[in-house]
Structure 1
Amino acid sequence: MAHRIEPQRTQRTQRTPTTTGVVLLCVLRVLCGSSSLGAQPVDTAFRQLLTSGKPAPAPPAWRALIGEYGATDSDTLFVLERDGRLTTLRHGTYAALTEVAPDTFLLADGRLTVERAGGKVAAVSVGGARLPKRALGTEDGSQFTITPLRPVAELRREALAATPPHEQGPFRPSDLVAVTTFDTTVHLDVRYATRNNFMRTPFYSSARAFLQRPAAEALGRASAMLRPFGYGLLVHDAYRPWYVTKMFWEGTPVPQRVFVADPAQGSRHNRGEAVDLTLYDLRTGKPAEMTGGYDEMTARSYPVYPGGTSLQRWQRDLLRVAMESVGFTVYDAEWWHFDFKDWRSYPIGTQTFEQLDTRDSGLGTRRGAVPESRVPRPESRPLQP
């Protein structure tokens, strides 16, 4: 099982807010009102991001070295980029690296050397101890995948024949609407409608995404808050039929089940009250780079994961602040998964998108859904082994 990383308490270098930052804060106050993120006001959380400034991308030469090292979770060495410097993190202590020769760095109390094999970083040595580099997710940003425990066709047949858990109401009537209803800059990359997902098989017949109306309205507000930063929201999944949740659970190896919902309890996705999403650049349309990939079943998926680069962590934190300021809460094992505050008010659903359409559940164009012919379909990428 991927090990859990606890938040690191560190001091950030504070810089004077830029004129743009002050303007953005004013815009955010208008958009956010007096909402709060946890115990602090929304504009305080945004101020922390603005005063630190959007970090520059880490030098490409560092990317191969950034990662986790060590044979055991209890003695993990992180190599990351922090405040523009290549840095190690071990036992809660940060130490900047100074390169003195190719693949040789000085630490405050010693030396770190890099071992390469086949053109890739294989290990580092610190204080005479060799620490192998861990394989985490994919290095090229492609989709993380698993080998399902059983054939997908068999999983689907059993899940469709199964019954969701019984629940005691009362519940609000379902009022699912398209996630694009309240902000057309919200884009879709519904990977479960393609083979480009962690189980390498389509689960949906069309690339659509729906939320209960209050959650969709809140998503629109979060999107508006992000525009001054130059970002939009890219949605991977929202309402998910219960039978798909059951397929995920039965097909996922036990050590990775922290990343999928137990069908005996149901998922907040099943209620139309959870959304999987990331940021995209409004200018280029490209997804923002985070510490780990979507649906990646490693420690890099935790929203408090300390590794990666400053820009990756900043973008991840910006997404979280925006979403939590409008009533969503991040799932503590997935930086991309957010639950809306009133998820307990709606029942578990297992209808397919087509069944919802047939039952006139408000998913037609008169209720804000994007017609299937107009939904952009994500490109399928080559399958990973």
Structure 2
Amino acid sequence: MKSLTYLLLFLISINTGLTQEKNLPKDFVYIKEQIPDIKLDIRYAGSNNFIGKPVNSYQKPVGILSKPATEALEKVQNDLMSQGYCLKIFDAYRPQTAVNHFIEWARNPADTLTKAKFYPEVAKKDLFQLGYIASKSGHSRGSTIDLTIMDAKTGKELDMGSGYDFFGDISHHNTDKITKEQKANRSLLKRIMIKNGFRPYPEEWWHYTLRNEPYPETYFDFPVR
């Protein structure tokens, strides 16, 4: 009787989409399942981000990527682990609904709660023009990642010269506003990411996209959960 009950519960979970696999379209995976020792700090699932609150469609602090991007990221992680480092992920796949939330926030000039921390020298009205916010994001195609490097033993992030999602020149790859050590840390990340098939975004040291991404023209909108 007990076995029959478990079978019925399993069938119900499948039919109602409660199994984890049912949350994702084909060829998408949870990063942690593929790379268990990677660290996650999914900022848009909480309030430590430039909006100052959880972003729409981020229902859980999990990282999702296309399978090819995850496989390439695993190679990056292995390279870094051999040197005593580890990857920390800030964001991966991003639903279009979340991007729409960014757009709504950017169009509200009265909401400057996070300005001092994330964009002290940039006018909020200029965030679109300067390329910090877009109506379509590469993240929604499922093969773009925001990340940094941390010490595998201490868990301390390497000093990159600016924080994640800081909107300003100091976050650009070609900035002259950072120290030699900070530049070397960025170069380490950039070199290993490029080696394993990712391309950098000039304005954001943390942002990389798989060169041969599987869905270059598709913008997904399933929730992060």
Q: TM-score range by the shorter chain?
A: 0.7 to 0.9
- Measured after TM superposition, the shift of residue 250 of structure 1 is 3.3
Q: Distance in 2 between matches of 1:261 and 1:199?
A: 12
Instruction: Describe the shift of the 1:226–1:323 C-alpha distance in structure 2 as closer, same or farther (beyond 3 A).
Output: same
1:178 corresponds to which residue? 30
The equivalences for 1:59-78 within 5 A come to: none
Aligned to 1:351: 222
Matching residue of 2:13? none
1:322-361 counterparts in 2 under 5 A? Answer: 322-343=192-213, 345-346=215-216, 347-354=218-225
Residue of structure 1 aligned with 2:161, choices 269, 291, 301: 291
Q: Is structure 2 residue 93 aligned with structure 1 residue 222? A: no
Please tell me whether residue 273 in structure 1 is matched to residue 143 in structure 2: yes
Distance of 2:26 and 2:104 partners within structure 1? 27
Q: Which amino acid aligns with 1:292?
A: S
* Residues 279, 259 of structure 1: alpha-carbon distance in 2 compared, 3 angstrom cutoff: farther
Check the 8 A contact 1:249/1:260 in 2, yes or no.
Answer: no
Matched, 1:198 2:50: yes
Equivalent residues, number: 180
CA–CA separation in structure 2 for the residues paired with 1:299 and 1:175: 36
- Consecutive unaligned residues in structure 2, runs of 5 or more: 1-24, 107-123
Distance in 1 between the 2:51 and 2:127 partners? 13
**1:247 maps to which of 73, 87, 101:** 101
Q: For residues 220-259 of structure 1, what are the alpha-carbon distances to aligned partners after superposition, in whole Å with 9 as ceiling and x for unaligned?
A: 0011111232211000000000011122133222312234
What CA deviation, in whole Å up to 9, does each residue of 1:95-139 have, x standing for no partner? xxxxxxxxxxxxxxxxxxxxxxxxxxxxxxxxxxxxxxxxxxxxx
Deviation at 1:205, TM superposition (A): 2.0
Q: Please tell me whether the aligned partners of residues 68 and 213 of structure 2 are also in contact (alpha carbons under 8 angstroms).
A: no
Contact kept, 8 Å, 2:87 with 2:149, in 1: the verdict is yes
Question: Are residues 300 and 179 of structure 1, via their aligned partners in 2, closer, same or farther at CA, if it must alter by over 3 Å?
Answer: same
Alpha-carbon distance in structure 2 between the residues aligned to 1:230 and 1:345: 33
- Contact kept, 8 Å, 1:231 with 1:280, in 2: the verdict is yes
1:260 aligned to 132, 136, 140, which one? 132
CA contact (8 A) 1:193 1:207 kept: yes
- Once the two structures are superposed, the pairs formed by residues 144-155 of structure 1 within 5 Å of their partners are none
Q: Which amino acid aligns with 1:315?
A: N
Pairing partner for 1:312 from 175, 182, 188: 182
Residue 176 of structure 2 aligns with an amino acid whose one-letter code is P
Q: Following superposition of structure 1 onto structure 2, how do residues 355-370 of structure 1 map, counting pairs within 5 Å?
A: none
Structure 1's unaligned 5+ residue stretches are 1-172, 355-385
**Distance (whole Å) between structure 1 residues aligned to residue 213 and residue 159 of structure 2:** 29
* Identical amino acids, percent of aligned pairs: 33
- Distance in 2 separating the partners of 1:221 and 1:197: 28
Distance, in Å, in 1 between the alignment partners of 2:60 and 2:52 is 16
Return the TM-score normalized by structure 2.
0.75
Deviations 1:4-54 (A, max 9, x none): xxxxxxxxxxxxxxxxxxxxxxxxxxxxxxxxxxxxxxxxxxxxxxxxxxx
1:225-240 paired onto structure 2 within 5 Å:
225-240=79-94
Relative contact order: is structure 1 or structure 2 higher (C-alpha 8 Å, sep ≥ 6)?
A: 2
User: In structure 1, what is the Cα distance between the partners aligned to 2:153 and 2:32?
Assistant: 19
In structure 2, what is the Cα distance between the partners aligned to 1:292 and 1:310?
A: 14
Q: CA deviation at 1:174?
A: 4.2
Letter in 2 for 1:286: K
**Does the residue aligned with 1:229 lie in a helix, a strand or coil?**
coil
The aligned counterpart of 1:118 is none
Separation in 1, partners of 2:92, 2:147: 9
Bigger radius of gyration among the two: 1
Q: For 1:225 and 1:181, locate their aligned partners in 2 and report how far apart those are by CA, in whole Å.
A: 18
Structure with more of its chain in helix, by fraction = 2
Aligned equivalents of 2:210, 2:131: Cα separation in 1? 18
Higher share of residues assigned strand: 1
